[in-house]
Chain A
């Protein structure tokens, strides 16, 4: 008994010493300065850190296959040939580009004197290798390069793409997913594609971007350090170190940005935004995103296979109230299937508005004067906004004698049910869409084009006239944008007339940043990305 007690006491004491830190009293507290490496931090420069509080974990770091959150890292470390901005395409690694008459051959002129983090110079060879690797691996976003038949190196700084069919290649080359240029000389030495992927996923990089990956822990933080030889150059008030800190809890992120523990964050609870606007320490930045919320009707199952019923229900949605109540005004009522600010969005599309009388009239016409049917609506569990929208719709349609059963499901289950037999599937499916790269075709093709096998056309809509219009429009996007827009508009009008889905709203991207930084500008073409190079100390 004595012995055990003694052991316990000793253990407690040892642990106590460790935890209370009384050992530390003896050691000298002088800072051991690390020898200065190329971008070593001295203590005086530590204010030179910017931290982005981000809600999700990183997935993979392979630019060829990454199709998820890690673009918040990749877009700072790698660069594309072209940069998308809402004002139009801008040079990035390519300084200019041109195409032949019908948009099947594209030539890009590359920026000279661009260095990779490895020290090698970027040439046409790297561009060809990077894109060919992405196509070869065929994973994630590789489909964006589908039009490409052949890539030809003209000289060190000129590269030619031959396409199977006309396409807007500069826009594709600006994609936030699958369009990054890597150092082929360095990577090809590492082995096959999988060996390269393994090396990259360990937290290495081979990009040209302003920042290099210094430490990669996909669950807690990613530390980026500035690349001193970046072709864009550096000024004194930019940040030497940029950190992406993973903090899944939104209220924690809010506290952190207010206290200055992190400098920028997003996806905070919308109820708190008005309070944050009052706070002198932070700035609330609100810009339209390229996202849209849809509710797809099951067009293969009665009663929603009847166009009149779909139109009636489209009139029975209080769009304005939804934006007010669900988004607290941080968003806009959708005008058709394409988000505002994108090519293919038209202010003057004839869209549905809230009109219960009109809805009743149409229902009577369709043979359901008192409603009298039941619909199953599925949405993604945990999405507060979708849950609220579902409740509002349920309450409104009750006035028409229609009962809605709301089923929150986890995304994989929701999607699996939708991909099973449409005759047994849900009646209404709620989902957000955002583009792989900002083309209306990404929206219209994925969600409304006839599908052999169900993937994302979750209203099971199939209209050959509509398909023909968008298939033609996409080939003209690069060379004849006015003509393309005209065709898109026709297609969207058909869609609105047929009402295969309710176009609900465009949510805003709401970033909140601390007053100690300036220069932030949201770019909806690169969702959730903060371009650290654009930030400056305030």
Chain B
């Protein structure tokens, strides 16, 4: 199998996985006894109003027909109407997606910035108190529940120190004073491009706590991965040779050793994107972050299944493609992997 064939094969597979997910979630969400039409109409509906809504939402059609209709709309990029907000689901998802993506990117950035150096130092000072501390930190990051950690951060930085805002993406009043022109939908980038410093600072303040909370898990992953790879590499012959030549330690660690240790860590970083997508669900609820996670949680709670399906499709697609990219990069980087 050639490299190109492999990519094509994996792409086709990915599409099947997504169709499978859509099918599964579609039918599971329909067998749960509930009346979406009643939800659509709102409080104290009359039977006539419910019947009208039923027609509007195609709920009187047989399930298979509804499913076919859904797939057909999906092909046209239409995810239906949210039962709860009466908006097109695509429109709801768009704004939610950029919010989540911005949060994940900042969290990943923090994770890389802390995880890699921590892993390197842990490996270099193996079994020292510093190593033990960093391992404790990494294990906590992986195993402490995000919601608990997030609340603790809120307590410290909002309630006691009054340094950072409690929740949300940007302060409404700041946004009112300095209207932000939306270009990419990423507040940090948009405010920078347009030179809107007050909004930038405010958005930055708002993203710090949720991003740190979200970063804890990937920090743990990256630190552990980098550490174990570094320890392995540092025992290699060529490193011993480098020591013998009297090359400065810093150069040995960061130039010779890290270069070879980083490749598997890249894979971990890629995969941790997928993990943070999952983590975002809880973190967004705690920090009232208007992203996919919060949207999904409230959609699930109110049985709004067009919205649930929409989120599922977006999340599954992201997950599948992150995995795909990671695999392809791995094949590309490591000639030892046989296709």
Given contacts A18-B189, A219-B92, A256-B166, contact A49 B176 (CB under 8 A): yes
Total interface residues in chain A, CB < 8 Å: 65
Whether the Cβ atoms of B166 and A252 lie closer than 8 Å is yes
CB distance from B49 to the nearest CB of A (A): 6
* Chain B residues with a Cβ closer than 8 Å to the other chain, count: 68
B106 at the interface (CB under 8 A from A): yes
Among listed B4-12, B193-201, B239-247, interface-contacting one = B193-201
Q: Which of A26-34, A322-330, A514-522 contacts B (4 or more CB under 8 A)?
A: A26-34
For B166, list chain A residues within 8 Å (CB).
Answer: 252, 255-256, 259, 261
Cβ-neighbour of B288 out of A8, A252, A415, A453 (below 8 A): A252
- A412 CB to nearest B CB, Å: 4
Chain A residues within an 8 Å CB radius of B294: 248
Binary interface encoding of chain B residues 20-61 relative to chain A, with 1 for a CB under 8 A from any of its CBs, else 0: 000000000000111110110111111111001000000000
Output the residue of A2, A18, A219 with the most chain B CB within 10 A.
Answer: A219
Binds A, one of B80-88, B127-135, B228-236: B80-88
A96 proximal to B (CB < 8 A): no
| Given A248-B298, A446-B44, CB of A31 within 8 Å of CB of B49 | no
Closest to B108 in A: A15
Cβ-neighbour of A247 out of B44, B167, B171 (below 8 A): B167
Nearest-CB residue, chain B, relative to A31? B178
Chain B interface secondary structure, helix, strand, loop or mixed? Answer: helix
Partner of B200, one of A24, A217, A245: A24
List the B side residues contacting A455 at CB < 8 Å. 46-47
Chain A nearest CB: distance from B14 CB in Å? 23
Hey, what's the 0/1 contact readout for B83-117 against A, CB within 8 Å counting as 1?
01111000010011000000001100100110000
Question: Is B192 close to A, CB under 8 A?
Answer: yes
A368 to B301, CA, bound (A): 41
Given contacts A67-B42, A249-B288, contact A21 B172 (CB under 8 A): no
Min CB gap B272→A, angstroms: 14
Which residues B151-195 have CB closer than 8 A to chain A? 154, 158-159, 165-169, 171-173, 176-179, 188-189, 192, 195
Interface contact A413-B34, CB-CB below 8 Å: yes
Contacting pair A138 B85 (CB below 8 A)? no
Give A432's nearest chain B residue, CB to CB: B43
Among B32, B44, B158, which residue has its beta carbon within 8 angstroms of that of A255? B158
Contact with B along A185-224 (1 / 0, CB 8 A): 0000000000000000100000000000000011111010
**Which residues of chain A (37-84) have a CB below 8 Å from chain B?**
41, 43, 46, 49, 51, 57-60, 66-68
B18 at the A/B interface (Cβ < 8 Å)?
no
What are the residues of chain A within 8 A of B173 when measuring CB–CB? 46, 49, 51
B204 in the interface, Cβ–Cβ < 8 Å? yes
B259: nearest residue on chain A (CB-CB)? A5
Tell whether, in the assembled complex, residue B285 and residue A19 are in contact, meaning their CB atoms are under 8 Å apart. Answer: no
Total A-B Cβ pairs within 8 A: 151
Closest Cβ neighbor of A456 among chain B residues: B44
Instruction: State A413–B303 Cα separation when bound (angstroms).
Output: 10
Which of A58, A139, A416, A436 is packed against the most chain B CB atoms within 10 Å? A139
Identify the closest chain A residue to B285 (Cβ): A249
Complex interface: chain A residues within 8 A of B48 (CB) = 138
Instruction: Using A19-B106, A138-B48, A223-B172 as known contacts, say yes or no to A413 and B33 having CB atoms under 8 A apart.
Output: yes
Decide: B290 and A219 in contact? CB cutoff 8 A.
Answer: yes
Let me know if B39 and A247 touch, CB within 8 A: no
Residues of A within 8 A of B197 (CB): 24, 27, 29
Q: State whether B177 touches A46 (Cβ < 8 A).
A: yes
A113 to B112, CA, bound (A): 64
For the complex, is A462 an interface residue (Cβ under 8 Å from B)? no
- Taking CB atoms, residues of chain A closer than 8 Å to B169 are 220
Q: Given A24-B197, A259-B166, A410-B303, A139–B177 Cβ distance below 8 Å?
A: no
Partner of A139, one of B49, B154, B188: B49
Is A248's CB under 8 angstroms from B34's CB?
no
Asked if B273 is an interface residue, CB under 8 A from chain A, the answer is: no
B263 at the interface (CB under 8 A from A): yes
Check A412/B34 contact, CB under 8 A, given A140-B49, A446-B44: yes
Q: How far is the CA of A411 from the CA of B304 in the complex (A)?
A: 13
Q: Is B262 an interface residue (CB 8 A)?
A: yes
Q: Residues of B contacting A24 with CB < 8 Å?
A: 192, 195, 197, 200
The listed residue with most A CB atoms (<10 A of its CB), out of B169, B173, B200, is: B173
Q: With A1-B259, A21-B192, A410-B303 known to touch, is A436 a contact of B44 (CB < 8 Å)?
A: yes
A243 at the interface (CB under 8 A from B): yes
Closest Cβ of chain A to B218, distance in Å, is 14
Q: Which 5 A-B pairs have the closest CB atoms?
A: A412-B34, A68-B42, A67-B42, A412-B35, A27-B195
Known: A1-B260, A456-B44. 16 other contacts (CB 8 A): A4-B329, A19-B204, A21-B188, A21-B200, A21-B201, A24-B197, A43-B177, A46-B177, A51-B173, A57-B85, A201-B87, A218-B85, A247-B168, A252-B288, A412-B33, A415-B38
Interface residues of A (CB under 8 A from B): 1-2, 4-5, 8, 12, 15-16, 18-19, 21, 23-24, 27-29, 31, 34, 41, 43, 46, 49, 51, 57-60, 66-68, 138-140, 143, 201, 217-221, 223, 241, 243, 245, 247-249, 252, 255-256, 259, 261, 382, 410-413, 415-417, 436, 446, 453, 455-456
Q: B residues near A, CB below 8 A?
A: 32-36, 38-39, 41-49, 52, 84-87, 92, 95-96, 105-106, 109, 112-113, 154, 158-159, 165-169, 171-173, 176-179, 188-189, 192, 195, 197, 200-201, 204, 259-260, 262-263, 266, 285-286, 288, 290, 294-295, 298, 301, 303, 329, 333
Contacts A/B (CB < 8 Å), 22 sampled? A1-B260, A4-B266, A5-B262, A8-B266, A12-B112, A24-B195, A27-B197, A67-B41, A67-B43, A138-B52, A139-B49, A219-B85, A219-B295, A245-B172, A252-B166, A255-B154, A255-B166, A256-B166, A256-B167, A412-B38, A412-B39, A413-B33
